[in-house]
Amino acid sequence: MKKLKKILAITAAAAFSAAALAGCSGGSGTADSTEDTASTGETYKIGVLQYADHPSLDNCRVGFEEGLKSEGIEYEITAQSAQADDATNTQIAQNFAAQKMDLVCGIATPSAQAAYNACFEAGIPVVFNAVSDPVAAQLAKSETEAMDGITGVSDALPVDEQLKLIREMMPDAKKIGIMYTTSEANSVSTIQLYKEKAPEYGFEIVEQGVSNAAEIPQAADLLVQQVDCLSNMTDNTVVDNLPVLLEKANAQGIPVFGSEEEQVGNGCVASAGIDYVELGNKAGVIAARVLKGEDIAAIPYETMTESKITVNTDAAAAVNLEIPQSIMDRAEVKNAPSEA
């Protein structure tokens, strides 16, 4: 791995959105020096490649910077979104490599893959975030052995907890529908996990694959006719088009369960999911370790194991779904903000 270089240029700081190749807002930051976390004395140039603009991935980026700051890292970030476009995703990654970033963070599997492909030969370390199955995505050798040049944090879904939640909220349900993108490695492996575990809870999984966003409306129409509820994953294409899925399901009175709290706040009835700010924070801490000189090939990826229950009482009421008190007693309520 090449020696990490001191920054030569400054990038802008502000809002992160769709400026794609022009360079969305990045930012700079440093942590206050304490006994446990002191400044490294260098300012690092970091590229953040986010595959799409939706709240869970936005939270990963926020948490990533928090993790860097907590470890005393002085940094200047260029953050760009691929807007869920594969060609743009690849070009941003190549631009980061050409700019000789000290480190690149890839948020979501397609961006992590693109960043690694572009940065490996340039000797630029890559830290991934929000990759559900790093081994299937060929971003890790195993759960305990990293690949040279890349490591990070996995957002493997707590499938058992989600199925328990659905069963508790819908004791008579039999079929759960799941939509996913057939080309997304995370989604393919998570679907298999759902299918393996569903019978333990008395469920059958009805899957509906799509190849792009344009197929989602018709696929949703088919899916809601066959199931008792839907369970959404962290599939980037589907999450990016969640309003379409919700509209189709709500019209049929079909509850949609999300995979994390932001999806619940946007209209899903509930989720047993992970905290994506904390996920990003863990990735930021790993990035700090790499920037401070640890061998990235000796840092296996981490997996978030904590989950929390979030409910949207308004969304549940809209589809005539009663949330048991046993769930309300341990859940966080995240309804959509009321309009002024």
- Look at residue 6 and tell me if it is in a domain: no
Domain boundaries, position 151 = 20-155+276-303
**Cβ burial 87-107 (10 Å sphere, 16+ → b, else e):** ebbbbbbbbbbebbbbbbbbb
What does the pLDDT look like over 254-276, one tens digit per residue? 999 999 999 999 999 999 998 99
248 is a domain residue: yes
In this structure, are 220 and 315 located in the same domain?
yes
Residues 240 and 284 reside in one and the same domain: no
Average per-residue pLDDT for the chain: 88
Q: 131 with 194, same domain?
A: no
Q: Rounded mean pLDDT of 299-313?
A: 93
* Any domain includes 8: no
Same domain, 59 and 122: yes
Spatial neighbors of 86 by CB under 8 A, at least 6 apart, are 110
pLDDT band at 40 (very low <50, low <70, confident <90, very high): low
227 and 315 in a single domain? The answer is yes
pLDDT above 90 for 38: no
Domain count, the chain: 2
pLDDT in tens, 51-83: 999 888 999 999 999 999 999 999 999 999 999
**106 - beta bridge partners?**
49, 128
Residue 12 inside a domain? The answer is: no
| pTM score above 0.95 | no
Whether 107 is covered by a domain: the verdict is yes
pLDDT digits (tens, 9 = 90+) for 2-34: 333 333 333 333 333 333 433 444 455 543 333
Write down the pLDDT at residue 290: 98
- At 153-205, the pLDDT tens digits run 999 899 999 999 999 999 999 999 999 999 988 899 899 999 999 999 999 99
**CATH code where residue 184 lies:** 3.40.50.2300
Indicate the angle between helix axes 109-119 and 86-98, nearest 10 degrees.
40
Q: What is the pLDDT of residue 1?
A: 43
Residue 291 lies in a domain: yes
